[in-house]
Amino acid sequence: MKLRWQILLKRSFSNYPSSAKSSKTMNSKGIIAVCQMTATDNKAKNLEICTDLVSSAKRMNAQVVFLPEACDYIAGNKVQSVAMAESLDGPLLEQYKNLAKSFGVWLSLGGLHIKVDDETVSNTHVLISSNGEIKSTYSKLHLFDVDCKEVNVCLKESSYCKPGDKIVPPVATPVGNVALSICYDLRFPELSTSLAMQNAHILTFPSAFTYATGKAHWEPLLRARAIENQCYVVAAAQSGKHNDKRTSWGHAMVVDPWGTVIGECSEVNNIAVAEIDLEFLRRTRLSMPVFEHRRNDVYPALWPKLDSDAVANHQESETYKFGQVTVKSSGVFSKTDLTIAFTNKKCVVPGHVLVSPIRCVQRMSELTVKEVSDMFALVSKVIPIVEKAYNGTSSTVVVQDGKDAGQTIQHVHVHILPRRPGDYLNNDDIYRDLAKHDKADSTIGQWRSEEEMAQEADFLRKLFV
């Protein structure tokens, strides 16, 4: 099948605020492809179209490829929609996982029909890594139950689809933190703002917009979500006539954080390739810091509702994932819903402890504002406790944010080292020792057993009471 694609549009900076024109840029650019297609009730044919789209995107050096809602199929009626649905471990999704792996790209499957029971499906956005692993799934929160006689649109998605019940945190990908949503979610700005507050760089709205609503609202809504949240917006789209009852608007597009459309599809089965520039996003947010100007003393902050099951699992967990290793709960001496404080396997000074977010992220920039606030609130509580426990008069508090800063555990964490007069003749030597202490040939400190760490945690835990 022959496809056409459009190269990314070159951005002119002449209309941007002067404070966003930095001559020094970070190495923070990536290439994405947004896809457009006309799905039918033929799964095999739809997969063939998607394979051609992904192949074209790979030739254009795309690192993440975004496919639209219902890329698996669009059936002629709700009975057929339910009958054709598969589970998350079904054969069709396995083929998409192999597709991502074979081309070495991340895939956003913008809305698969996932079987719930014999009468119901969930509309589920699936994000797959380049090694074929499912990194995240999101079930559509807002279902399209609309009867607009003026434009001849009448659909009731809830008649066969079960709505989701939670916001899914953004996922770190090679091009930035990607937030998952679907189609009609676009009309509910609270969801996008909540995701932006969780440090999303890219908001996604894979869609099958009706022709009438798309013609009137598609681009204005996408640009509004990009501007108000200062995020890239990526909207893969269904296009054209799927069957006698259904026609989609198309116009898959990418919008930058300033609200400029930097990529758009025109043909039916097509891709548009665009550049994601996180340094440009950062400068946009710095020049107009709208999230700092939010009046949450007047109206509520749009934090997502905590997943009660996840919180319960954290509270009952025997181990916590800490980068590439695990921390036993016996070594944890204080915790919140978002953060743990725990004893260290190898200490630079007596009482050297760690504080980290429960969610496993490698860099500070990947944390939400709430996680950062919670983590350092716990740090401030831990400092006087360990100073008291180890007769300290001061504390060295350190974050090694990334490999070149000395980070060896791939998980954000804060070192707290209680200090005493004369413990180091040259105060800055403690940073040298911290950088070397966990190396295999280091003579700084002693590796400790789990029992020793648990005993210290029990001692510190009592000081919090």
State yes or no: is 413 an active-site residue.
Answer: yes
453 within 8 A of 344, measured Cβ to Cβ: yes
Report residue 322: phi and psi, to 5°: -130, 85
First-to-final CA distance of the chain:
68
Closest of 435, 444, 428 to residue 349, by C-alpha: 444
CA dist 380 and 372 (Å) reads 12
Return the structure tokens found at 8.
């990314």
Burial state string for 199-231 with b = 16 or more CB within 10 A and e = fewer than 16: bbbbbbbbbbbbbebbeeebbebbbbbbbebbb
Q: Which residues are annotated as a binding site for substrate?
A: 344, 400, 415
453 φ/ψ sector (left φ>0, alpha ψ -120 to 50, else beta):
alpha
Q: Which residues are annotated as a binding site?
A: 344, 400, 415
The catalytic residue among 113, 201, 411, 413 is 413
Report residue 425: phi and psi, to 5°: -65, -40
Starting from the edge strand earliest in sequence, which strands make up the sheet with 332-335, in order? 332-335, 339-343, 353-357, 414-419, 394-399
Sequence-distant (≥ 6) Cβ neighbours of residue 62 within 8 angstroms: 31, 32, 33, 105, 271, 273
| Catalytic machinery residues | 413
